[in-house]
Amino acid sequence: MHDMLKGKCRFISSYAAALLGCGATCIRIEKNVERIARTFGVHVDMTLLPSHVITVVWDKDYTHSYNCQSKPTGEAIDFCRNIELSKLSWQIAEDKLLYEDAANRFEKIISQPRLNKWLVLLLTSTANASFCRLFGGDFKAVGIVFCATLIGFLLKQIMLEDKIDLRITTVLSAFVASVIGASGYLFGISGTPELALGTSVLFLVPGIPYINAGSDLFAGHYLCSVSRFIQAVILTICLSLGLCGGMFLMQMNFFN
């Protein structure tokens, strides 16, 4: 009984930390964990912090408890893993999975490799170029943005693989992308060079942290909300520094 309760505690804590690490909102984590705990026949008290998850699991009668602290992985936001982990909570609830089966499925999910980085690179470049076209850029500007995103995002992937700080990575990626994005001005390639430059760094905008910060704020998770908001602001500043650096290098006039 005690070993089973301890195992469930470790599973739920690791599950919540995995969701937090891949970019889930606090309200989603709470709902998924509540669904799992109800199926397992336990009660859960959970505290979500920006870099830790503290979990206390009680038996049905509140006579025995175990607590566990887990740290989210440092990986980037992963929508696929987020979805698979959420689906796991529903599978546990609907199929009445035993703890051992749920743990096996959980290990299988977190051990799955991320999407092919070359596919992600291609799709990100195409999406960013599409933004340029959506905002009214001509096809030459779209091509510039595609190339700028391709090289800037590839640099970001390489630097993150080498465990270089995300803030430094953002500054350098924005710098490289903005230099390439300014080629429309430099060589007179495009009729809408301002759109090519403006959209060349959009792939670095931390939109998900901003959205999650708002969601956590409305859900009452103020620590996580403020932490995510500050992180997003810092990344936005880094993006701006890289963009301004590229514009200064290309001797562009900010007021024209």
Q: What's the chain's length in residues?
A: 256
The pTM assigned to this predicted structure is 0.84
Question: Residue 60 is encoded by which pair of tokens?
Answer: 């049905």
- Per-residue buried b or exposed e for 64-82, using 16+ beta carbons within 10 Å of the residue's own CB: eebebebebeeeeebeebb
C-alpha–C-alpha distance, residues 97 and 225, integer Å: 33
pLDDT tens across 126-171, in order?
999 999 999 888 899 999 999 999 999 999 999 998 989 999 999 9
pLDDT of residue 35: 93
CB 149 within 8 A of CB 125: yes
pLDDT of residue 190: 80
SS3 112: coil
What's the pLDDT band for 74 if we cut at 50, 70, 90?
Answer: low
C-alpha–C-alpha distance, residues 183 and 187, integer Å: 6
Question: Residue 71 is encoded by which pair of tokens?
Answer: 């740290």
Neighbours of 37 (CB within 10 A): 21
Residue 43 backbone phi and psi in degrees, to 5: -110, 140
The residues, ordered by sequence, that sit 6+ positions from 34 with a Cβ below 8 Å of its Cβ are 44
The mean pLDDT of 33-37, rounded to a whole number, is 92
